[in-house]
Chain A
């Protein structure tokens, strides 16, 4: 393959067993694109015994933190995203190869230091951190950092890295035989106490609040005695066609992105989204919007109040229901009907606590109302059936949040039950029925609901069943937010349902034809249709390449609907500023939009092969019982409107609340999906011809060895 621009050319392999490092040439991994593709292939190549590794805390686990050709460039909303892949911790019915991702400036700095990815194997004999300064790699003793929170850890490392000032404001960093200069701080990815204690709820933190943790990557760092990874770089990313890259970025700025100097009118929040903090209570005006490297319009924030920097999205709401409950009464369940300023500061404060201790706030959010309920019933507390010394009567205050987060991070008090995850903990406490009956919302694989109930938001549930974790892809999900928030505010959503769905399906090549609008029809009469399987296939394959591997931000891409365009057609796949335009300008490769999706299919099939080796079977792919047995009655917004037709075939935004899945229906949908992928319908395993058709004969051979190739018929 010809040398491609955009890649740094080197992947850093750290072997913690021997405290050594060596370089893998990126060229050997080009076809996997970057990010997730790199992570999957590196896992395949470096994990010694995939079948035998059943927990992410096994030293044989391989954790990869990968950038892409876009990292460190100005490709819009792609320059700072970063993918993490590893064997999971705490998932049911079994752990599996999984992913998470985070933003900020880590992958950009890694690239400027000359590295495309870092992959870590083994376990260090004592706590260490990895300190990379351009091509100089050090595995350093970390006892002075162990026990420190994520913010303090980063600051200590940053200070050390910047210790040589060559001229005022610029620090000097060795760069080959020369001296590079930078004004920037080192970019550090670290665990807090939760990760150190190998909790399944531990996550990785970079900056004030960029986090990766679904699947327990924090515990993986802890189990490897790895506290942090730091990069500082003074180099550059080579670009194949810099002029085309600048031009496309200017066009994006002028014609596709929001210009808040000119208008504050509604903007659909993909590429055209406004620079606004995605927080769920009203923000005090004393803040800035902050962003990842190269973003077209940021979604995070930093505040004047002195805390809560980058406490965004999920982290801003994990304690919101509790704060409201304490202040105004009622239960601690999340509801966004009231998002008043009086809830903000305590919510941000609690977000900060979680970020500092490195706790994944998704799983703990669902636990809070359950703890409240158990306490109210007299079953939880000092000397009660579930013993705990936490001050439950103060649930919703800062004091409770502090003690609760400490307990979770250190595995003490109530936290002792949840080191292996919330669902295993609930089960060991003898309350598994509360998971089955939906008192606790953990609808798939022991993972918390991401906020989008599979009974309403079909693609979220289905794509999750077909992958490793809650799928975390907002490509279609912005529909939920825009339509239902508009409803809550009493505003008429400006785009008719039929127009909206048409714009989406136009971009769903090669799996959905531009006129197959039923691919977006979430009506009950279309819930288990074959076209919905192809829609999810598009999400999975588009996502695996363009989002998870090329690392285009999930919030900004795909850009199917763009309210700055008269025809509402977004950037996705177009000749001007579509995904492939950026890829080709940066790498010089010359691929099409669909070529990228086809690469995603291949990456996704390697993932599936790994899952199959790890024991996955069709029978694993199911929801918790309540998704089938009960109607969906509650949502954090008062409505769950989604485009759907009625019996007469008329489109509108229609209510999804009040329905449930049927087991037979979901099984029928799964069969459609397996057929569409070319997987064995009985087992979900791939066939030899499928894998060989994608150039993965070695993968087919490996599966055959363990008797897990799908049948060809």
Chain B
């Protein structure tokens, strides 16, 4: 397993206050180095990677979604996918497509909300925010806590637990090693390269900071805009 160097270091200056101070004592007790205590405040260590997307490049094929669910669950599903592509085909470009990925938030409200530390920053895996299905008690608090629309934590009605993007850490049906430093199924499968991977998280307070431009001159030669 590869972990990202930056994020595995303790004090890179990219630590964020963990809001749910009530649960934090328990978190520290359970989880050692994934959390840090400084200045009387609890921080979750920054994820070593996250997905970024190009909303003008995606063609809405949904291949990323069914491949995500295949890699994790062995079946093709949209509801079980940890990336959600939503479309309104009657809207004009570029408002017709939204790409919803987990932001691997620095202060991850979903992690903070979990009362049993099932949703955690995985210390052995570059601090990717990940849910252990065996520990999840199905309380749905992390789903409610995720501030994004649509929520980036999914409810799995079969296992009756919550799940979220783990950057493909736990992918029993994919030959390649996933996770930070490994392969992200959605990124690898996307026919047009509309999904990217970053190791330095962007500005957290700007909603559009995970949206990037992945189009180059070759894209322009197929008659489509490469402007932001």
Contact = CB atoms under 8 A, between A and B. Distances in A.
Chain A contact patch, size range: 35 or more
Contacts of B29: none
B93 A298 contact: no
Among A74, A169, A309, max chain B CB count under 10 A is at A74
A194 interface: no
B79 A289 contact: no
A286 B93 contact: yes
A182 B221 CA distance: 36
A257 B191 contact: yes
B135 interface: no
B89 interface: yes
B66 A79 contact: yes
Contacts of B140: 167
A236 interface: yes
Contact of A74 (B63, B92, B143): B63
B41 interface: no
Interface string B92-110: 1110110010000000000
B63 A155 contact: no
Among A181, A257, A303, max chain B CB count under 10 A is at A181
Given A169-B100, A170-B150, A236-B77, A260 B222 contact: yes
Interface string B210-221: 000010111111
B79 A246 contact: no
B86 A288 contact: no
Nearest to A304: B93
B79 A73 contact: no
Contacts of B176: 250
B78 to A, nearest CB: 6
A297 B173 CA distance: 24
Nearest to A306: B92
B76 A74 contact: yes
A207 interface: yes
A291 B77 contact: no
B88 interface: yes
A302 to B, nearest CB: 5
A309 B96 contact: yes
A112 B77 contact: yes
A181 B59 contact: no
Contact of B75 (A185, A239, A283, A310): A239
B19 interface: no
B222 A236 contact: no
Contacts of B218: 260-264
Interface in B122-147: 140, 143-144
Chain B contact patch, size range: 35 or more
A168 interface: yes
A239 B92 contact: no
Interface stretch (A274-282, A364-372, A670-678): A274-282
A422 to B, nearest CB: 29
A633 interface: no
Given A74-B189, A167-B143, A303-B92, A182 B78 contact: yes
Interface string A220-264: 000000000000001111110011011101100100010111111
A181 B157 contact: yes
Contact of A247 (B175, B216, B220): B175
Contacts of B86: 169, 183-185
Contacts of B151: 167-170
Nearest to A295: B61
B89 A309 contact: yes
A239 B157 contact: no
B16 interface: no
Among B71, B77, B191, max chain A CB count under 10 A is at B191
A304 B217 CA distance: 20
Contacts, number: 210
Contact of B67 (A246, A257, A303): A246
B70 interface: yes
A253 B56 CA distance: 20
Contacts of A303: 92-93
Contacts of A288: 56-59, 93-94, 96-97, 224
A285 B220 CA distance: 8
A294 B77 CA distance: 12
B75 A276 contact: no
A202 B105 CA distance: 51
B23 interface: no
Nearest to B87: A185
Contact of B173 (A180, A237, A243, A282): A243
B7 interface: no
A519 interface: no
A178 to B, nearest CB: 5
B131 to A, nearest CB: 16
B64 to A, nearest CB: 9
A169 B150 contact: yes
Interface string A284-319: 011111111111111000111110011000000000
Interface in A171-185: 175, 178-185
B89 A294 contact: no
Nearest to B174: A246
B73 interface: yes
Given A180-B79, A259-B193, A309-B89, A250 B188 contact: yes
A243 B189 contact: no
A276 B86 CA distance: 21
B74 A310 contact: no
Contacts of A309: 89-90, 92, 96
A276 B61 contact: no
A247 B151 CA distance: 29
Interface string A97-119: 00000000100100010000000
Contacts of B97: 288
B61 to A, nearest CB: 4
A276 B223 contact: yes
Contacts of A182: 78-79
B224 A242 contact: no
Given A243-B174, A246-B67, A237 B191 contact: no
A72 interface: yes
Contact of A249 (B63, B73, B79): B63
A151 interface: yes
Among B89, B94, B140, B217, max chain A CB count under 10 A is at B89
Given A72-B76, A235-B77, A287-B224, 5 more contacts: A74-B67, A276-B223, A283-B223, A290-B60, A294-B63
19 contacts: A80-B62, A167-B155, A168-B150, A235-B79, A242-B71, A249-B67, A261-B193, A261-B218, A263-B218, A275-B59, A285-B223, A287-B93, A290-B60, A291-B59, A293-B66, A294-B62, A295-B59, A295-B63, A304-B93
Interface of A: 72-74, 79-80, 105, 108, 112, 151, 154-155, 167-170, 175, 178-185, 207-208, 234-239, 242-243, 245-247, 249-250, 253, 257, 259-264, 274-277, 282-283, 285-298, 302-306, 309-310
